[in-house]
Amino acid sequence: MKTKIFSKKNLTDQNFKNIVDYLNESKVIAFPTETVYGLGAHMFKEEAIEKIYTLKKRDKNKALIVHLGSIEDVKRVAIKIPNDFYILANRFFPGPLTIILKKNPKISSLISSDLTIALRMPDNYYTQKLINLLGSPIVGTSANISNRKSPVNAKMVLDAFLNKIPAIIDTGECELKIPSTIISLVEKPYKILRIGSISKEQIDKTLKISR
């Protein structure tokens, strides 16, 4: 397999269609976000999801993240969605915030082995365009071998996965270079599981919480 590199200069409509075809064919591609580069698959293609774990050498008990094309996509992957989700999404999406909700039982256990689902909307024009052309969220995780440094440029991805994936979208260095903040809204009060560039203070202010 030869990895095709799609940069801003050659991301034509036809090339976007080619990348969509890869995803529909249960293949794994690499995509950029504002935080780090990710390995992505069609969220309804279990064969492709399996490939992500194999490529990364990742423990299957570690959940993947669903990347949305719109806030309304949340209804496809989660149930009992609290109003706090919409408050945070309207403030921070697209952006470096991952929100954990109760999982729609129709979602594959390969994405998450428990009753929750992690999701976010990446702030990258090209990745957003890809998701919306696909017509489905993509499931993904950082494009590195497990326990190695998260990639912030295409070269780091290619060092790990050259000729192991069919395509990478290369839009240059990631802007933030640190993983997203992760918050769980499954129970009240909410829990922050990882701090990224969005702080607890920003979340509290958005939810009008004072502690």
Task: Provide, rounded to the nearest whole percent, the portion of the chain with pLDDT above 70.
Answer: 99
Q: What is the pLDDT of residues 128-143, one digit of tens each?
A: 999 999 999 999 999 9
Task: Decide: 121 and 71 in contact? Cβ < 8 Å.
Answer: yes
pLDDT at residue 160, rounded to an integer: 97
Task: Decide: 3 and 162 in contact? Cβ < 8 Å.
Answer: yes
Which residue type is seen at 23? L
Distance between CA atoms of 78 and 86, rounded to whole angstroms?
Answer: 13
Region 95-107 average pLDDT: 97
Which residue type is seen at 201? E
Q: What is the pLDDT of residues 57-86, one digit of tens each?
A: 999 999 999 999 999 999 999 999 999 999
pLDDT at residue 209, rounded to an integer: 76
| 164 vs 210, higher pLDDT | 164
pTM score: 0.95
Distance between CA atoms of 120 and 210, rounded to whole angstroms?
Answer: 25
pLDDT at residue 175, rounded to an integer: 96
All structural domains of the chain, each given as residue ranges with its CATH number in brackets, are: 4-207 (3.90.870.10)
Q: What is the pLDDT of residues 170-191, one digit of tens each?
A: 999 999 999 999 999 999 999 9
Mean pLDDT of the chain: 96
Q: List Cβ<8 Å contacts ≥24 apart for 1-4.
A: 1/163, 1/164, 1/165, 1/166, 2/163, 2/166, 3/158, 3/161, 3/162, 3/163, 3/164, 3/165, 3/166, 3/167, 3/168, 4/166, 4/167, 4/168
φ and ψ of 65, to 5 deg: -110, 135
pLDDT at residue 22, rounded to an integer: 98
> SS3 of 2, please?
coil
pLDDT interval class at 210 (50, 70, 90): low
Please give the distance of CA 183 from its chain centroid, rounded to a whole number: 15
